[in-house]
């Protein structure tokens, strides 16, 4: 059994990863600052599912799970480097899974400093702590948004990504470059994962599918950008978690001469992968499936494409398949049915934030 640090543990992907690792008997320390980017009620409810009481509100206090004997949680800001490195020195992590970040493409347009503080300074704290405590594998979240203005699809990790169209995307690309630097200078094995529109139970309220479900149930109109003529590689949460888990015990080694220019691999122990469904779905079809599962038709307000948005995303996942045999297995019809089942329960029993 391994010992893992999961940052962003109160978030959507972090919560599901902690639950999977704890269920399998691993020792897990979850970390999150529980910020108010969206209503923290959902974050506390996720932590409650993992057996953590509201004691987690206390900054810097490590709290034990009452459900999983190998689980603990600490509330910290990653920019608080002294506390972060002290935490690393008190634990020996077999791997660090860094999922904490300031999320949201549109939010980055109006709140740019939140992204440099969390996504750049916070990530630097993780890299420095890994360096000084000799962590054997750092897995970190990147994003499909790094592809920006790339028009060649499906997006490949071997293509250049030099034209981001949001600050969020720019910070995620910066993370990849920072990771490569630390892999090269200090030999830290780093694996970057470019996630493609992850959805499912306990998801983020700022994501379109969550906002659509809430609006449909309340009879409010939903905002459909580009008149629904957009495509996304919607990826179900369980598929994402499976990919992460398979990679934990597979730290990269140097794979090529560092002068050939392939962005995804290096002579340093560094690699990038896409995690996507490999089957883009049209937004209007996605909404139709939501309507069927919620038993109610949406009132639609059609709007033009927003700044920072792209028309289509599609993931080339052959590298990840070749490395660990991973393939997405959840079709959109099944994934949305599972999300709606959870959403209806949460809306009724807990009330959506």
Q: What is the domain count for the chain?
A: 1
Tell me which long-range contacts 126-131 makes (C-beta under 8 A, separation of at least 24): 126/7, 126/78, 126/84, 126/96, 126/98, 127/178, 127/179, 127/182, 127/188, 128/81, 128/85, 129/81, 129/84, 129/85, 129/87, 129/88, 130/88, 130/96, 130/182, 130/188, 131/182, 131/186, 131/188
pLDDT at 242: 98
295 located within any domain: no
242 located within any domain: yes
Check if the beta carbon of residue 85 is closer than 8 Å to that of residue 129.
yes
CB-side exposure of 49: number of CA atoms within 13 Å?
22
CB-side exposure of 169: number of CA atoms within 13 Å?
21
Check if the beta carbon of residue 227 is closer than 8 Å to that of residue 282.
no
DSSP state of 160: -
Of 326, 134, 317, the residue nearest 244 (C-alpha): 326
Mean pLDDT, each 10-residue run in order, the chain (353 residues):
96 98 98 93 96 91 97 97 96 96 81 89 97 96 94 93 92 97 97 97 94 94 89 95 97 70 89 94 93 95 81 92 96 97 87 49
323 located within any domain: yes
pLDDT at 353: 45
Q: What are phi and psi of 165, to 5 degrees?
A: -125, 15
Residue 170 to residue 173: CA distance in whole angstroms: 5
Residue 219 to residue 294: CA distance in whole angstroms: 12
298 located within any domain: no
Catalytic residue among 168, 182, 231, 236: 168
pLDDT at 157: 97
284 located within any domain: no
113 located within any domain: yes
49 located within any domain: yes
Q: 260: domain range? A: 3-196+237-276+312-328
- Between the CA of residue 181 and those of 232, 253, 320, what are the distances in Å? 31, 14, 22
Q: What is the CATH number of the domain that holds 181?
A: 3.40.50.720
Tell me the CA end-to-end span of the chain in Å, nearest whole number: 36
118 located within any domain: yes
168 annotated active-site: yes
Check if the beta carbon of residue 202 is closer than 8 Å to that of residue 342.
yes
Strands (E), 196-329: 198-199, 221-225, 231-232, 235-236, 270-275, 281-282, 299-303
Predicted model pTM: 0.94
């Amino acid at each position: 059994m391994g010992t893992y640090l999961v940052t962003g543990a109160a978030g959507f992907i972090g919560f599901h990863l902690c639950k999977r690792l704890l269920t399998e008997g691993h020792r897990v320390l979850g970390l999150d600052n529980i910020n108010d980017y969206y209503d923290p009620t959902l974050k506390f409810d996720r932590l409650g599912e993992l057996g953590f009481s509201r004691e987690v509100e206390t900054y810097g206090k490590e709290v034990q799970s009452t459900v999983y004997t190998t689980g603990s949680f600490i509330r910290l800001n990653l920019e608080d480097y002294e506390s972060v490195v002290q935490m690393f020195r008190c634990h020996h992590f077999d791997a660090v899974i860094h999922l904490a970040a300031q999320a949201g493409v549109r939010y980055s347009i109006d709140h740019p400093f939140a992204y440099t503080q969390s996504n750049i300074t916070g990530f630097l704290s993780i890299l420095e702590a890994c360096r000084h405590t000799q962590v054997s594998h750092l897995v970190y979240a990147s994003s499909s948004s790094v592809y920006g203005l790339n028009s060649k699809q499906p997006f490949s990790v071997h293509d250049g990504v030099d034209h981001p169209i949001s600050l969020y995307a720019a910070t995620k690309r910066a993370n990849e470059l920072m990771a490569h630097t630390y892999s090269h200078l200090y030999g830290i094995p780093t694996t970057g994962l470019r996630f493609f529109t992850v959805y499912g139970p306990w998801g983020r309220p700022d994501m379109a599918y969550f906002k659509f479900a809430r609006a449909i149930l309340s009879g409010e109109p939903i905002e459909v950008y580009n008149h629904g003529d957009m495509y996304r590689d919607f990826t179900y949460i369980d598929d994402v978690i499976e990919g992460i888990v398979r990679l934990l015990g597979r730290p990269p080694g140097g794979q090529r001469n560092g002068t050939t220019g392939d962005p995804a691999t290096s002579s340093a122990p560094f690699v990038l992968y896409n995690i996507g469904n490999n089957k883009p779905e049209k937004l209007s079809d996605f909404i139709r499936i939501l309507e069927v599962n919620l038993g109610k038709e949406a009132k639609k307000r059609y709007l033009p494409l927003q700044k920072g948005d792209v028309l289509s995303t599609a993931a080339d996942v052959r590298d990840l398949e070749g490395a660990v045999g991973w393939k997405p297995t959840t079709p959109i019809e099944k994934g949305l049915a599972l999300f709606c089942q959870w959403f209806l329960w949460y809306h009724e029993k807990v009330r959506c934030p």
